[in-house]
Amino acid sequence: MTNRVTVIGSLNVDTILTIPRLPKPGETLSMHDQTFAGGGKGANQGIAAGRAGAETAFIGKVGDDENGRFMINSLTDSNVNVDQISVTKDAKTGQAFILLDDNGQNSILVYGGANQQLTVDDVKAAEDTIANSDFIITQFETPVETAEAAFKLAKKHNVMTILNTAPAPEKISAELLAVSDIISPNETEAQTLTGVEVTDEASMIEAANKLHASGAKCVIITVGAKGAFYHVNDDNYGFVDAFRVKAVDTTAAGDTFIGALSSQLNPDFSNMAAAIRFANRASSITVQRLGAHPSIPTLAEIQTAEAADK
């Protein structure tokens, strides 16, 4: 059965500045290259879900500009329904400026723009879309109150919710945590949220139990190039190793993981380890290519990579 996934989140056009290393304060560096690509954590996750085979819809906002039209076309080309993306004349489409060094690591500056004008009314207008979903995903590049409204509507219709806790907030409201079925932080975000330093399985379990106490049915802690830890309960948890590859650009790796996961995961979490392995595979392809949207793999590419390992 094909999963139906709705993403509510950000839509950005990325400017990628390829540099040898990050500049020191006051230092001027020459760039190797400058490129442009679609991005935004929300859009990345939506495209990852759509390309991985999910029936995907998007709730978001762009400016009345060329970047906005580019983003809508980018999602449409990746099998994402854009009927719930609205256009505002009051702000420009979101943008991100990515400093990418020779080791494939990045630093990112984000202009929220139209993303910050996504409202509770926009969510209410998309209630039918939310109600007809198996999963709804959000992050923290759009207003928190809008995310809360979306997740509350999702729970009204028995839709599973996935909260990706990035960019890392200092604190998440109890109201949002209470309606988040799956919480997916990285190890740094997990420590910020729980006060537990994530270093091994015991500390991951401790952090997960603290997040369970906040309302999460499942916790997935991503640990960069090592893989991902999941904890549903004391009888259903484990660590799924990442695939070893040469990283060119880590942009959108985490977003690819979330989107690909949602395309495969059963709402009862019965195939959690297999879905995470699939998501790890998708991310391993993403980091070997440059840019956000251009790097996100299709289902056929993921399946081909899987077959090559057998």
Virtual CA dihedral for 282, 286, 287, 288, nearest 10 degrees? 110
**Looking at the domain assignment, is residue 34 inside a domain?**
no
Domain CATH number, residue 50: 3.40.1190.20
Is a pLDDT exceeding 80 seen at residue 104?
no
**Looking at the domain assignment, is residue 206 inside a domain?**
yes
**Looking at the domain assignment, is residue 189 inside a domain?**
yes
44 known ligand binder = yes
**Looking at the domain assignment, is residue 263 inside a domain?**
yes
CA atoms of 14 and 124, how far apart (whole Å): 29
SS3 40: coil
Beta-strand ranges (E) seen in the chain are 4-8, 12-18, 33-39, 55-63, 80-88, 94-100, 106-111, 135-138, 160-164, 182-184, 218-222, 227-233, 236-241
**Looking at the domain assignment, is residue 107 inside a domain?**
no
Q: In this predicted model, what pLDDT tens digit does every residue of 185-209 receive, in sequence order? A: 999 999 999 999 999 999 999 999 9
156 known ligand binder = no
Phi, psi of 45 (to 5 degrees): -65, -40
Domain of residue 136: give its range: 4-10+40-93+114-308
**Looking at the domain assignment, is residue 293 inside a domain?**
yes
**Looking at the domain assignment, is residue 20 inside a domain?**
no
Active-site hit among 121, 181, 255, 268: 255
Counting residues of the chain whose pLDDT is more than 90, the rounded percentage is 83
CA atoms of 30 and 265, how far apart (whole Å): 44
CA atoms of 131 and 136, how far apart (whole Å): 10
Structure-block tokens of residue 208: 């997960």
Identify the band that residue 46 occupies on the pLDDT scale cut at 50, 70 and 90.
very high
Does 101 qualify as catalytic in the annotation? no
249 known ligand binder = yes
Strands 94-100 and 12-18, bridge-based pairing: parallel
Place of tokens 């979490």: 269
Q: What is the pLDDT of residue 40?
A: 93
SS3 101: coil
* pTM recorded for the entire structure: 0.93
Q: What is the pLDDT of residue 307?
A: 87
CB atoms within 10 A of CB 98: 22
Amino acid at 184: S
Q: What is the pLDDT of residue 260?
A: 98
103 known ligand binder = no
Mean pLDDT of 52-63: 98
12 known ligand binder = yes
DSSP conformational letter for 186: B
Query: Computed over its alpha carbons, how large is the radius of gyration of the chain?
Result: 18
Contact by Cβ (8 Å): 12, 36: no
289 known ligand binder = yes
**Looking at the domain assignment, is residue 15 inside a domain?**
no
Tally of domains in the chain: 1
Q: What is the pLDDT of residue 224?
A: 87
CA angle (249 as vertex; 244, 250 as ends), nearest 5 = 70
